Amino acid sequence: MSKLKSGILFLAVVLFANTLSAQSLDDGKKFMYYERFKSAKDVFQKLVTANPNDEEAIYWLGQSEIGLEDVAGAKALYQQKLSTMTNSALLYAGIGHVELLEGKTAEARQHFEMAVSLSKGQSIPVLNAIGFANGNPDSKNGDANYAVEKLKQATQIKKFKDPEVLANLGDAYRKLTDGGNAIQSYNAALAIDPNYARAIYRSGRVYQTQGVGQEPLYMDYYNKAIAKDPKYAPVYNTLYAYYYETNVGKAAEYLEKYLANSDDDPKACSYRASILYAQALFADAVKKADECIAAEGANPYVNLYKIKSFAYNRLKDSVNAKASFEEYFRRQEPNKIEGGDYSAYAALLLKFPGNEAKVAELVEKAVALDTVDANKAAYMKTLAQAYEAQKNPAEAAKWYGRIISVKKNYSNVDLFNAGYNYYSINQYDSANRYFKLYTEKYPADILGYYMLGNAAAAVDSTGAEGLAVPYYTKVVELGEADPTKPNAKTRLMNAYKFFYGYYYNAKKDQATALTYVNKAAELDPADQQVASAKKFIGENDPNAPRKPATTPKTPTPPTTPKKPATGR
């Protein structure tokens, strides 16, 4: 064979091998796109076994480990390979990602900068890796501004045409709560690849995080993502989570679609246990979780223990619930424990006397760990409700009050919960603080004035100072304007009773007292207390001697008003 033919054959073999390698790498990255991390790991592991120095395959193998929540495995891989591949910019970006997950932000930044330096700032994969590690909304320790900087730098490199970079840029903007630039970035990704379902789906996530009123928009994006690529599993997972609390049937439907398009791994098994919990099949959820744990051997998916704890708690088996939660904390990596975990465990511990200090510590940890005010408020509410269940209004009041301090748009229910718990233990000054806020924020709502009147009447029990008069006057004004509103009739009646007692006893004004008695009688002709008062006041001159026992007294307002509805 001539040297020329031999060279051509060698070149053909090299090109063929490179083509196979590129296809296999792309296959693995496609699995990563679909978040099928187990399948992706299998592909990348084979590539690294075939070529232990394949920089891209090593990087993506580590990323698949992170996707499988095996940060330790990714760390070991990157450290091992960097010991010989000391100039690999991509692997420095990879180890930086691991360090961010470990909370080592200074070390991570040092390795990111080293990666940029080694690649002279001209490697799209390196800049993309850095941007993803920092800009992913799930990356608690990542610097989203740094991510934007590096990802925008990648878009300026010659011949750039990568929708993944632009989608990651959109994620970074979303993390910065810059919805406008996030949508713009996702649209730019779609301009490169109109079939890039991830960008459509992530656009929906932007609107979903904006809360109430955006459902038509984000649901439209989710449906478009499904229509564009029915195999894109992450959208099914989001819809499963969305319906989990409100429509178990739909949640189960989307879970099946998610599992049908995902790898069969320990996390998938935990979802099956979780949906049983959502369906209120708590014993079945425990059984399924135990089956999943047994199937996985020494290292089962850690969240299974949390599912067991919640299920045992609903079965009123506090002992096993506590044991399962403690096993969860023992096995879970500290950086993966969420604020809600601490909050739920705190509420459970309250069932075991002597843990009050530990409970407060756990809730404080939950609040400190979370950056979302609504979540902080939810943790406090969990504890406040637990104290209410234990008939401990003093502690409930304290935690309900703290909700007001962190929740930007607190509701009438939030204010009532704090105020009423203080009211129930006769701490009227504290109660009034919240009910005055109630009247300021909801001036057309009768309840705030009613509770202020109740508190004032309790303090000024004889009515001599008239402390309750301005508040009950407002109750009468609002109640008479629309007595059909929920609970308005009850509150109006008690205001009338206060006034006929107040005017008859404190002011010695028989005529005005009779006016309010008549109003009360008209509002509820069957009320025997009102009928007796009408007869007495109508027949007796308040200046004449009379038996004290038969004198209508200023009524004590009821102390168990119903909680207000969230919508007025």
Q: What pLDDT was estimated at residue 10?
A: 39
In a domain, 335, yes or no: no
Q: What pLDDT was estimated at residue 564?
A: 59
Q: Closest Cα partner for 273 from 283, 262, 263, 258?
A: 283
- Tokens 């004290």, residue? 548
| CB under 8 A, 24+ apart: contacts of 463-467 | 463/498, 463/501, 463/502, 463/505, 463/506, 463/554, 464/506, 466/502, 466/506
Q: What pLDDT was estimated at residue 65?
A: 96
CA 321 to the chain's CA centroid: 22
Q: Give the Cα separation of 207 and 229 in Å (integer).
A: 20
- Tokens 């006397």, residue? 353
Q: What pLDDT was estimated at residue 23?
A: 52
CA angle 373, 377, 378 (to 5 degrees): 115
| CB under 8 A, 24+ apart: contacts of 293-301 | 295/269, 296/266, 296/269, 300/266, 301/265, 301/266, 301/267, 301/269, 301/270
| Parent domain of 447 | 428-550
Q: How many domains does the chain have?
A: 1
CA angle 77, 78, 80 (to 5 degrees): 65
Calculate the alpha carbon distances from 434 to 232, 279, 345, 437, 457 in Å: 48, 38, 29, 5, 17
Q: What pLDDT was estimated at residue 14?
A: 40
Task: Tell me the average confidence (pLDDT) per consecutive run of 10 residues in the chain, 568 residues long.
Answer: 42 42 80 96 96 97 94 96 96 98 96 97 97 92 97 95 97 95 97 97 93 88 97 96 91 94 87 94 97 90 95 96 96 87 91 88 88 87 89 94 91 95 96 96 95 95 92 95 88 93 92 92 92 84 48 48 50
Whether residue 432 contacts residue 453, with contact meaning beta carbons closer than 8 Å, is answered with no
In a domain, 457, yes or no: yes
Structural element, H or E, at residue 463: none
Whether residue 65 contacts residue 41, with contact meaning beta carbons closer than 8 Å, is answered with yes
CATH number (domain holding residue 441): 1.25.40.10
Whether residue 338 contacts residue 369, with contact meaning beta carbons closer than 8 Å, is answered with yes
Q: What pLDDT was estimated at residue 557?
A: 47
In a domain, 537, yes or no: yes
CB count within 10 Å of CB 551 equals: 15
Whether residue 262 contacts residue 233, with contact meaning beta carbons closer than 8 Å, is answered with yes
Q: Closest Cα partner for 225 from 249, 207, 250, 246?
A: 207
Whether residue 112 contacts residue 147, with contact meaning beta carbons closer than 8 Å, is answered with no
- How does DSSP classify residue 360? H
In a domain, 523, yes or no: yes
CA angle 67, 69, 73 (to 5 degrees): 95
Whether residue 375 contacts residue 381, with contact meaning beta carbons closer than 8 Å, is answered with no
In a domain, 194, yes or no: no
In a domain, 146, yes or no: no
Phi-psi sector, 67: left (phi>0), alpha (psi -120 to 50), beta? alpha
User: What single-letter amino acid sits at 375?
Assistant: N
What tokens appear for 330 in the block? 């023992």
In a domain, 507, yes or no: yes
| CB under 8 A, 24+ apart: contacts of 423-429 | 423/451, 423/454, 423/455, 423/559, 424/393, 424/559, 425/393, 425/394, 425/397, 426/458, 427/397, 428/455, 428/456, 428/458, 428/459
Query: Considering all CA atoms of the chain, what is the largest pairwise distance in Å, rounded to the nearest integer?
Result: 136
Tell me the pTM: 0.67
Quick check: helix, strand or coil at residue 414? helix
Q: What pLDDT was estimated at residue 137?
A: 87
Calculate the alpha carbon distances from 418 to 4, 35, 300 in Å: 88, 44, 42
In a domain, 474, yes or no: yes
Q: What pLDDT was estimated at residue 563?
A: 59
User: What single-letter amino acid sits at 371?
Assistant: T
Rg over alpha carbons for the chain, rounded to the nearest Å, is: 33
